[in-house]
Amino acid sequence: MIIGQSPQAMKVKKMIREIAKTDDNALIIGEEGSGKQFIAKEIHNRSRHKNRPFIVLNCTAVGETITEADLFGEKIEGPMGVERKVGLLEQAKKGLLYLENVHELKTEYQLKFINVLKERKFQKLGEKAFIEANFRVIASTTEENISKMDTFRKDLLSMLNTFTMIIPSLKKRKQDIPIFFIHFLQEYCAEFGHEVPPVPAELFESLMEYEWPGNIHELQNAVRNLVLMSPEGTLSIEYLPFEVKRHPFEILDDHELPDAVGEIEKYLIKKSLRRFAGNQSKAARVLNISEAALRYKMKKYGLTRKAF
């Protein structure tokens, strides 16, 4: 299920529906945590191959912890006879192979994938027979300008981006934040056996002000943290895993009314004088008071001309 009602979310939902109708390869571009793998899985689940495997290959690890034998499989002859290792490509048979962080695929493996996608077949290591590469590929990247990368082959890109989806960051679809929040809140309350608590207005304000560099994944973790750490039946803003922007008037919480009014006056006068480099005539005009009143208040609050 794709969550959100923003124009950006509706566009993503439409693209998922259309791409799922085909067997073509696709490229998903988006920031870390924006839900690229989830979207690839959603495309697969809506396709006619939904009951077939969905195999994830992290391209960052290819050539490191993931070997060529892990990819293509291997025929091993030993004292106990012949053993055939099933590789990731074979595991994806008639299903979907998801290439995560495809921009980090080493050049030598880019060439191998070009050959597989071009010939639609591959060989296990140690075997002469070919295996049919009858799987769909959806790749993802955080590189918005992958087509301009010198380290990524243009011919491989052209094989992958029959369809290209650009996933908007959470800060570009902020109207979806409350929808995501409620979804994750209900999910984690159910998981931990809690009643869904009321959501304080100040909590929503903080969620909307934050930039969410980790996108949906960061928001999900933030909600989990709130549910686990807040006293049961409540949601406490102090357990948000980022610094909350406080309202500027909160510094006046412990002031009596005359003192609070004085602090506000002092702040606005200083701001106006700084704006006009100490020009009292212009500052008074903006503040809608007389120059005489301005000078009186400057003297009252100890604001000297030299300070501006």
Question: Could you tell me how many residues make up the chain?
Answer: 308
Q: How far is CA 132 from CA 37, 71, 118, 124, 141, in A?
A: 25, 14, 12, 11, 26
Sequence spans of domains, the chain: 7-168, 171-239, 250-307
| pLDDT single digits (tens) 80-123 | 777 889 999 999 999 999 999 999 999 999 999 999 999 999 99
CATH 3.20.20.70 fits 171-239, yes or no: no
Q: Would you say 72 and 116 are in contact if contact means Cβ atoms under 8 Å apart?
A: no
Full-model pTM: 0.76
- CB count in 10 Å sphere of residue 222: 21
Same fold for the pair 7-168 and 171-239 = no
d(CA 43, CA 94): 15
Q: Which CATH superfamily is domain 7-168 in?
A: P-loop containing nucleotide triphosphate hydrolases (3.40.50.300)
CA-wise closest residue to 52 among 25, 90, 16: 90
> For residue 84, what pLDDT is reported?
87
pLDDT tens digit at each of 308 positions of the chain: 688 889 999 999 999 999 999 999 999 999 999 999 999 999 999 999 999 999 999 999 999 999 999 999 998 887 777 788 999 999 999 999 999 999 999 999 999 999 999 999 999 999 999 999 999 999 999 999 999 999 999 999 999 999 999 999 999 999 999 999 999 999 999 999 999 999 988 888 889 888 999 999 999 999 999 999 998 888 988 888 776 545 555 555 666 777 767 778 887 888 888 778 788 998 889 888 999 988 898 888 888 766 56
Going from the C-alpha of 30 to that of each of 35, 125, 180, the distances in angstroms are 8, 35, 18
Structure tokens at 152: 């990524």
Structure tokens at 96: 């979907």
Two tokens, residue 213: 């560099």
Concatenated DSSP letters for 231-286? PTT---GGGSSSPPPPPGGGGGTTS-HHHHHHHHHHHHHHHHHHHTTT-HHHHHHH
- Superfamily of 250-307 according to CATH: Homeodomain-like (1.10.10.60)
Sign of CA dihedral 207, 211, 214, 217: positive
